[in-house]
């Protein structure tokens, strides 16, 4: 089986939760991982220590605010300074909270569009020349609610729908050298904010498999798209237990 040995992966928002599991999975397959974080410094350092204990100099950290678009090229430059190359960009960082019509503020809209759509686009643009040179790939973590709206979350759903189309657009823009794909989680690891809990059981009831998935389900799909899917581009794979089957 092919490994990712010698490949460098930059993952946004990967200090904890699903991002950290993706980082661990790609690292276990041989990759050198560069973990971006904004505020979760302690979690990022703990993960770095664990991975570097397994394999020396195999995990690096970069810090930054993805809403500061002018600073995004420096994240790529810092990654290159640390590792010398870049093969894979995983756009994982995301904001997620309800914004029912009548309550939505421009600040919330800018945050949700910024983290879920604008940052992935401008990071891809900054990384494009390196990814082209290395015949690399981009993986966007989308959401099944980019396909089907979730009541009370219009700005978030619009952002993820945009990321779905961006995945397809970048596949056209960056091919043939760079593959661009996405993974759309369903009910996987529920966000910690209390206001997101109300519909959890309702969503699980609407899945064909009637259960929550795991972060490992997402990470294994990312690994497949990075390592084993040389002839797949412009696709977004729902990993949702069959949720999109239910209107």
**Exposed, middle or buried by CB within 10 Å (0-12, 13-18, 19+), for 189?**
middle
Phi, psi of 153 (to 5 degrees): -125, 50
**Active-site annotation, residues:** 156
Residue 67 to residue 61: CA distance in whole angstroms: 18
- Report the residue count for the chain: 247
- 118 CB-side CA count, 13 A: 17
Do 92 and 14 contact (CB within 8 A), yes or no? yes
What b-and-e string marks burial along 6-22, b requiring 16 or more CB atoms within 10 Å of the CB? ebbbbbbbbbbbbbbbb
Element (H, E) at 36: strand 32-37
What b-and-e string marks burial along 217-231, b requiring 16 or more CB atoms within 10 Å of the CB? bbbbbbbebbbebee
Task: Map tokens 């904004």 to a residue.
Answer: 38
């Amino acid at each position: 089986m092919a490994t990712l040995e010698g490949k460098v992966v930059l993952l946004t928002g990967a200090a904890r939760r699903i991002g950290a599991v993706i980082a661990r999975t790609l690292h276990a397959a041989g990759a050198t991982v560069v973990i971006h974080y904004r505020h979760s410094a302690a979690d990022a350092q703990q993960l770095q220590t664990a991975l570097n204990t397994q394999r020396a100099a195999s995990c690096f950290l970069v810090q930054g605010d993805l809403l500061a678009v002018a600073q995004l090229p420096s994240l790529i430059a810092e990654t290159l300074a640390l590792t010398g190359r870049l093969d894979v960009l995983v756009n994982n960082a995301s904001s997620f909270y309800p914004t029912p019509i009548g309550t939505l503020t421009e600040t919330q809209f800018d945050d949700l569009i910024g983290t879920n759509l604008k940052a992935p686009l401008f990071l891809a643009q900054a990384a494009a020349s390196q990814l082209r040179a290395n015949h690399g790939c981009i993986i966007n973590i989308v959401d099944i609610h980019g396909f089907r709206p979730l009541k009370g979350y219009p700005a978030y759903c619009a952002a993820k729908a945009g990321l779905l189309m961006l995945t397809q657009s970048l596949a056209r823009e960056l091919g043939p050298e760079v593959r661009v794909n996405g993974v759309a989680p369903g009910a996987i690891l529920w966000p910690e904010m209390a206001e997101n809990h109300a519909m959890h059981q309702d969503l699980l009831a609407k899945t064909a498999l009637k259960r929550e998935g795991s972060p490992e389900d997402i990470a294994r799909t990312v690994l497949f798209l990075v390592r084993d899917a040389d002839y797949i581009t412009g696709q977004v794979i729902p990993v949702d237990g069959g949720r999109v089957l239910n209107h």
